[in-house]
Amino acid sequence: MFRNLFKNKNKDSLESLDTEKRKAITGWCMYDWANSAFFTSAGTAIFPIYFVVAFQATFGSRTEFLGITFTGSSLWALGVSMSALFVALSSPILGAIADTKPLKKTFLKYYMIIGSLFTIISFFSVYVANSWAWLIGCYFIANVGAAGANVFYNSLLPSLAPSRYASEISTKGYAYGYIGGGLLLLVHLIFIQGASIYLDDSAVDLVTRLCIVSVGIWWFGWSIWTLKTVPEPEIENNLQNESFSKIILSAFSRLRQTFSEIRKFKYLFTFLIAFYIFNDGVQTVLSVAGAYGADVLGVQLIFNMITILIIQFVAAPGSILFGWLADKYGTKEALVIALTGWIIIIVFVLGFAPLKLTNDKDYDYQFAFDSNSNNYELISSIEFSSTEENIDVINWEEKFHKLQGQKVSEEELNRFINIVQNEPSSSYSVVVTGGQLDSTRIISKNHASSLSDGWIDAWPAFLRDVLWQPLNIQIGFQWMTLGLLSGLVLGGSQALARACFSMMTPVKKSAEFFGFYAFTMKASSVIGPLIYVIAVNTSNQKLGVLIIWALIVIGTIYLSTIDVRKGALVADEENKK
């Protein structure tokens, strides 16, 4: 079995294709290798954190504009959403244009050049007055380049080989991407961590900016392979000598025609509805996972970084595994298996819980009675980051925090204990040894280890009692299991969704249809987090995750009712016309 995962010798495998087609497929996969570095290193691991530091250096933890309060992270999220919205709105029309003229590779090339160029010039942020504005401006344009290029990169898939190979090609592309992005991220983490240990702050800043520059160079350099080896698909009714205005009018005419033919492509468009629903859930999980881990579970940054690496390297063989499952059981069936995996994983994640505080050294504030002064000395205290932006943490540090070595009377300690227990901004714990308050242990209801008596916390309380606590599995290691499990299904769910859509897409409408695919993907990237925010504001984060879980369940059930094979037959008939 495992040998067949990586090299399938049957007549319907990629090995049976001629040399030129295999060369083109490898070149196409190499673009995933190239641009995944942007989404992994730049977009996830480095750029956001570097921007927040620059924002705080100018405004502090927050600023107000037109009556709206922005933090570094919220302004970053707004920039990402706006760039996604720009691509979502422009993709269908640009796709329609690319289906009337041989421009798929041209659009891919120029989007890629714009994206990689603005990734590189973000290096100069320290030389301008408002470095935060330079950074978010560069990232906005670079993200438009990355997302826009992906529309036309994906649209090349149907022309590479017959539709029966779509699953194998798509999963292979994702595998290349996970390995390429993961390798460069690993190099970046080594350099940045090494610089943090051995060099001063200015040198660390330089190393960080050079890492971002290397993303742009990597992206541009490896993309040349794709541009050199992947042929431009032939276009029927090529509007070669037509004016620009006539091409635009023709593109809109194609869009109107496509909407009028929805009944003909009903399987494809019903798949887009299912894709919108389940991708809403999957993309929201991916986008809020880091914040959920930090806010709800208290997961440290280093465990988040390690988890990203685990996802990258596990997702590569995971993609190949699901390619094998697609070959054996069918593309849609393998996609349903991958989404079922997501459903199980999210239930498992909802059971994550920090361990109970069983040792005195686990408490944030540790007081010991000093018989000489008849006071209580703070022998250990929590340390706060100088770049903290959480308003509750800032409020606590300014008003209530006590420093290690400080001595307080019994009355003062009782007041402090009361504050820890009842202050809304408190998420801390106190232990006292000796004196009248000996063995006092107080844990705020907002502390990561605190679970409520409500139904939403019954599952994590159960898992903590029967699994996490007996095996002493700390929350950081629980979180790393998320990377292991989600990595297995992430590549499969993304690659097979793209493969299903490709199978039902006529070659002559590929750019236009993948424009709709991109619109659906980007729209779900905006709406899903909004659903989560509303759920969190009305209840809590766990209910938000539960609602997202329900979206994936609904989308998976709906997907299971769609006949992808009939959709592929419709596409084949359209190709023969």
Q: In what order do the strands lie in the sheet with 429-433?
A: 407-408, 375-380, 365-370, 429-433, 440-443
Do 139 and 78 form a contact (C-beta atoms < 8 A)?
no
CB 314 within 8 A of CB 300: no
Q: Which residue has the higher pLDDT, 561 or 89?
A: 561
The Cα–Cα gap between 147 and 149 comes to: 6
Task: Give the separation between CA 170 and CA 188, rounded to whole angstroms.
Answer: 27
Predicted local distance difference test score (pLDDT) of residue 377: 95
Q: Under a CB-based contact definition with an 8 Å cutoff, are residues 503 and 564 in contact? A: yes
Q: What is the rounded distance in angstroms from the CA atom of residue 221 to the CA atom of residue 31?
A: 10
- Under 8 Å between Cβ of 144 and 114: yes
CA 191 and chain centroid, separation: 23
Contacting residues for 569 by C-beta, under 8 A, at least 6 apart: none
C-beta atoms surrounding 306 within 10 Å? 17
- Which domains does the chain possess? 16-353+476-576 (1.20.1250.20), 360-443 (no CATH)
Q: Are 415 and 399 in contact (CB under 8 A)?
A: no
Q: What is the pLDDT of residue 1?
A: 41
pLDDT at 301 over 70: no
User: Highest mean pLDDT range out of 117-121, 171-175, 525-529, 539-543?
Assistant: 117-121
The pLDDT assigned to 58 comes to 78
pTM for this structure? 0.72
* Rounded average pLDDT over 539-543: 74
Question: Residue 412: what pLDDT?
Answer: 94
The mean pLDDT of 204-215, rounded to a whole number, is 90
pLDDT at 237: 55
pLDDT score, position 383:
85
What mean pLDDT value characterizes the chain?
82
Question: Given this model, what pLDDT does residue 258 score?
Answer: 60
First to last CA, the chain: 40
pLDDT reported for residue 5? 44
Is pLDDT at 207 greater than 80 in this prediction? yes
Using the CB atoms, write b or e for 385-409: b if 16+ within 10 Å: eeeebbeebbebeeeebbeeeeebe
Tens-place pLDDT, residues 324-375: 898 888 889 999 999 999 999 999 889 988 899 989 999 999 999 999 999 9
Region 554-568: what's the mean pLDDT? 91
Higher pLDDT, 244 or 19: 19
What is the chain's percent helix, strand, coil content, to nearest 5?
75, 5, 20
Report the pLDDT averaged over residues 12-37. 86
Q: What is the pLDDT of residues 369-397, one digit of tens each?
A: 999 999 999 999 998 866 554 667 778 88
pLDDT at 528 over 70: no
Encode pLDDT of 250-299 as tens digits: 555 655 666 566 667 788 888 888 988 888 788 777 766 666 676 667 77
pLDDT at 199: 79
pLDDT at 530 > cutoff 50: yes
Is the CA virtual torsion 495, 497, 498, 500 positive or negative?
positive
Which pLDDT score, from 0 to 100, does residue 559 have? 93
Predicted local distance difference test score (pLDDT) of residue 62: 66
Of the chain, the percentage scoring pLDDT greater than 90 comes to 29
What pLDDT was estimated at residue 502?
82
29-72 pLDDT, tens digit per residue, is 999 999 999 988 887 777 877 787 788 777 766 677 777 667 66
